[in-house]
Structure 1
Amino acid sequence: MIRLLATISLYALVVRISPRFGGTAVGRYVITTLARQCAADSPAVIKIAQLISGRAQFSDRYFCEGLLKLQADVSPNCWFRGEVDETWFAKIDQRALASGSVGSVFRATLLSGAPVVIKVKDLHREEKHLKSARTFRSISTLANRIMSVWNIPALDWINALTPVFRGQFDFDSERANALQFAEAFRRVDGVVIPRCYAQHSNPVALVYERIEELAVISEELNGTQRGTRAADILLKAYFKMVFIDGLIHCDLHAGNVYLNAKGDVVILDYGYVERITDRVKVKFRKFFGAIVSGNSNLCAALIVDMATSRAKRYKEFEFFTAIGDLVEQFHGRRAGDVDVGKFIMAVFVTCARSGVRVESWFANILVSLAFLQGTLVKLDSSLDFQLEAKRLLHTLEEGAIGL
């Protein structure tokens, strides 16, 4: 990990001096090496790389494009070795169909003839994650002392994010999530949640319905009728998760969202999920409504209200002013015109510097927005997602919702 961080730092330094370095032969080699190092590292590193890869419009394009393969094609470290009862299957392909941050996926066919995939947990990567978490904590302990000058609690962030990445290895929870998502979207047109065969799954392998001819989401769809329709469906599905169901898929990057032959949105992978209570849903509705309406004072007040604690250094005027500046930059901007990832990081840093400690659910929802934006931009960069949020929030207030 130390070597990976050093390579990224060196690349960033060179790009600052020569912005086109990533497009040169040497630059491409360095990026390829970085992608390979990320793929061999822990799920936390892979997840961060996946988030970065969706920000080509706002960051170094060459670097982001070089990491794109990590969204659905991480080099597999595991092979099918009888993780399920093979008597249930007519055929199992031993070669991995795809690989992600926590395991690999294999084609199979049930005895009934139903086409399925088997998602197998990578136990080696799970062990590496535990070691990586300890390394992160060691680094962040040192960073805490250095960054305390700016009141940025690096260790707090690591402690908050570690359970999230660890939770992706909990296949029992993912199975429960999959069943809940299927029920939540059972009657929603345009959204497809593959069936989870819970009776054939276990703590190290999950069996899902296999959907053939899935189209990868790419920038070629941007602005097309198909892309615009898919962006609208995905955005409304996300708002349903956040504002209505309280069951939020926090990992909607292009490696987990596809289009089927009809152009419907197919959502995969239910490991990184956040659940919120009805009370929290109401608070977050107000918070998001304050952002899209440009009400910065209400936005800042709600962040403070949702915080777990405030340090002695907290100064209300300074905090409200800083949040106001951020909301002003974000308010009214379309999907392709604002860097949600940068906005979210600025919110986190502002909270940390002001001594406002936010809850993990709040951080996870904001991170989910950054992943979502990376996918929406590829489908329709002109999408006014803030206007859509206003419409839905107004509909909720009126007490009628058609999702």
Structure 2
Amino acid sequence: MNGRSTYLRIGRRLARICGLCLLAGGRMAVIVLTARRSARARRLTAELVRLIERLGGAFIKAGQIMATRVDLVGPTVAGGLNRLHDEVAPMTAAAAAGTVRRALGPLPGEIADALARPPVASGSIASVYRVRLTGRTVALKVRRPGVEEAIGADLAIMGVLARAVTRVPAFRRVPVAEITEQIGRCLVGQLDFAAEADSLRRMKELLAQMPEVRVPAVVPELCGDGVIAMEFVDGLAHASIERLPARVREEEVAVLVRAVYHLLFSGGFVHVDLHQGNTYFRPDGTVVLLDAGFTYTLGAEAARSFTGFFGGMIEGDGEGCADILHATVRGATSAAAIDEFRTAVADLVKRNTGARVRDFNLSVFCVELFDIQRRCGLFAEPEFIFPMLCLLSLEGLVKEHHPTMDFQIEAAPYVMESLLAEPPDEQRRIALP
């Protein structure tokens, strides 16, 4: 694709975004002026969800992330956004059949019949169909046609905005463009179904030692460009955690937290997309993780540094955490700013050590940490954004269903195991940068 057609595509996408936002803004203004107070929030939320669904592309992913934070956006907005997880309007049966035919060739009757029926779930990137084959049932995930162009244009627009933001004096040293680029690469990675199949296999392998967590196996002979097949897990229900007794909820939330920590600290594997369309809780005590599209593998250095920082958080070692962050920072500044950075980070860590989830707000912690970095002109490893996004979405679930959990102490065994697995010289380097 030449440069002219790329600019035209981005221009058309930007015009569509602006047009849809203006129309939605007009409808929202009418709702504010005419709706009864009791119905206003619900109707505004419905309009917001409708706008996000029509925008598609990266906007749906942003809406899904927002839906995981009921503590931040409120139950009305979070409840409305929840439908973006797996109830987005599906592609047509003809479009789904065309994608599968290009990937796998002529369609067997069982697959053709399944694609003619409504999907069992439909999200921002793909729709999922239940296919009954001889002796087994599989879930066939089919990528939406045209989603690559929409997300590509969205990321190009985001990149322009990120570069513009860095011209603002307050953000001149902030690696906004670099962080945006990394998140963009991760989003584009969701379109690579071969890579997602590999990630799903790796996630299943890493969690094999946790029988209370189930990850479906990939069915390789039915995978292709834009198509992933995996074993179908029966008995899954939307908003499944709401149907469980309080005690079972807490037990299964703890299982999910331990699984996420094991992936993160033992494998450097970050699941960034822990919404209710990908995470299911069953009455038998098992947790099911279905999707590995929006995942990220930390580099070895970033994984070691993040593990060391989290270990310092658990121990209340503010000075150690400050040293670890300082060892990863980008940018040059004065000795006075470095001293201020160390002191402020150490104080922030000490103030938040040992707090239970109901008393600890990770989003506030991240904002304050970012503000310290901005003020001092020193910014930690941009890869840290991925585990932070993962833990932010996980924190929302924990706050709602297990608020007495000590989020940090639950991580301690996995952090210690990861640190002890390092060679002695590396352990010392992490502890004393």
Same fold, TM-score > 0.5, yes or no = yes
Is the CA contact (8 Å cut-off) linking 1:221 and 1:380 kept in structure 2? no
- 1:250 maps to amino acid: V
- 1:310 maps to amino acid: G
- Partner residue of 2:304? 282
1:116-169 deviation per Cα after TM superposition (whole angstroms, max 9, x unaligned): 111111132221111111222233333333363675454333223211111111
Distance 1:172 1:227, change over 3 A: same
1:322-357 deviation per Cα after TM superposition (whole angstroms, max 9, x unaligned): 323432443222223333233234334433443334
Query: Following the alignment from structure 2 to structure 1, what is the Cα–Cα distance between the partners of residues 26 and 200?
Result: 41
Aligned pairs (5 A) from 1:256-335: 256-307=278-329, 309-312=330-333, 315-335=337-357
Find 1:116's aligned residue among 138, 141, 145. 138
- Partner residue of 1:103? 126
- Partner residue of 1:363? 385
2:120 is paired with a residue of what secondary structure? strand
Is the CA contact (8 Å cut-off) linking 1:253 and 1:374 kept in structure 2? no
Is the CA contact (8 Å cut-off) linking 2:53 and 2:88 kept in structure 1? yes
1:4-37 deviation per Cα after TM superposition (whole angstroms, max 9, x unaligned): 7779999999xxx9xxx99732332221111111
Find 1:380's aligned residue among 399, 402, 405. 402
Deviates further, 364-373 or 333-342: 333-342
Deviates further, 161-170 or 323-332: 323-332
Find 1:73's aligned residue among 70, 87, 96. 87
Distance 1:333 1:285, change over 3 A: same
Is the CA contact (8 Å cut-off) linking 1:73 and 1:100 kept in structure 2? yes
Distance 1:384 1:22, change over 3 A: farther
Is the CA contact (8 Å cut-off) linking 2:333 and 2:376 kept in structure 1? no
Deviates further, 354-363 or 268-277: 354-363
> Within the alignment, does 1:62 sit opposite 2:76 as a pair?
yes
Deviates further, 315-324 or 239-248: 315-324
Query: Following the alignment from structure 1 to structure 2, what is the Cα–Cα distance between the partners of residues 386 and 182?
Result: 24
Deviates further, 24-33 or 164-173: 24-33
Query: Following the alignment from structure 1 to structure 2, what is the Cα–Cα distance between the partners of residues 57 and 392?
Result: 27
- Percent identical pairs in the alignment equals 24
1:57-80 deviation per Cα after TM superposition (whole angstroms, max 9, x unaligned): 234443233212222222224542
- 1:40 maps to amino acid: R
Measured after TM superposition, the shift of residue 274 of structure 1 is 1.7
Query: Following the alignment from structure 1 to structure 2, what is the Cα–Cα distance between the partners of residues 352 and 283?
Result: 20
Question: What is the aligned length?
Answer: 393
- Partner residue of 1:33? 47
Measured after TM superposition, the shift of residue 372 of structure 1 is 1.5
- 1:191 maps to amino acid: V
Query: Following the alignment from structure 1 to structure 2, what is the Cα–Cα distance between the partners of residues 220 and 3?
Result: 38
Distance 1:142 1:290, change over 3 A: same
Query: Following the alignment from structure 1 to structure 2, what is the Cα–Cα distance between the partners of residues 264 and 179?
Result: 19
Deviates further, 292-301 or 38-47: 38-47
1:227-285 deviation per Cα after TM superposition (whole angstroms, max 9, x unaligned): 12211211111111111122222211222100235220000110111213555433322
- Partner residue of 2:424? none
Is the CA contact (8 Å cut-off) linking 1:97 and 1:106 kept in structure 2? yes
Deviates further, 314-323 or 280-289: 314-323
Is the CA contact (8 Å cut-off) linking 2:308 and 2:419 kept in structure 1? no
- 2:147 maps to amino acid: R
Query: Following the alignment from structure 1 to structure 2, what is the Cα–Cα distance between the partners of residues 4 and 147?
Result: 31
> Within the alignment, does 1:228 sit opposite 2:244 as a pair?
no
Measured after TM superposition, the shift of residue 196 of structure 1 is 0.9
Is the CA contact (8 Å cut-off) linking 1:152 and 1:349 kept in structure 2? no
TM-score under structure 1 length normalisation: 0.85
- Partner residue of 1:87? 108
- 2:253 maps to amino acid: A
1:48 is paired with a residue of what secondary structure? helix
Distance 1:4 1:335, change over 3 A: farther
1:286-341 deviation per Cα after TM superposition (whole angstroms, max 9, x unaligned): 1101122222221122122233x223368212222332343244322222333323
5+ residue gaps, structure 1: none
- 1:87 maps to amino acid: P
Measured after TM superposition, the shift of residue 388 of structure 1 is 1.4
Measured after TM superposition, the shift of residue 377 of structure 1 is 3.0
> Within the alignment, does 1:205 sit opposite 2:219 as a pair?
no
Query: Following the alignment from structure 1 to structure 2, what is the Cα–Cα distance between the partners of residues 7 and 144?
Result: 30
Is the CA contact (8 Å cut-off) linking 1:226 and 1:263 kept in structure 2? yes
More helix by share: 2
Query: Following the alignment from structure 1 to structure 2, what is the Cα–Cα distance between the partners of residues 207 and 288?
Result: 36
1:356 is paired with a residue of what secondary structure? coil
Distance 1:60 1:379, change over 3 A: closer
Is the CA contact (8 Å cut-off) linking 1:249 and 1:272 kept in structure 2? yes
1:106 is paired with a residue of what secondary structure? strand
- Partner residue of 1:176? 198
2:114 is paired with a residue of what secondary structure? strand
Query: Following the alignment from structure 2 to structure 1, what is the Cα–Cα distance between the partners of residues 36 and 339?
Result: 42
More strand by share: 1
- Partner residue of 2:207? 185
Higher Rg: 2
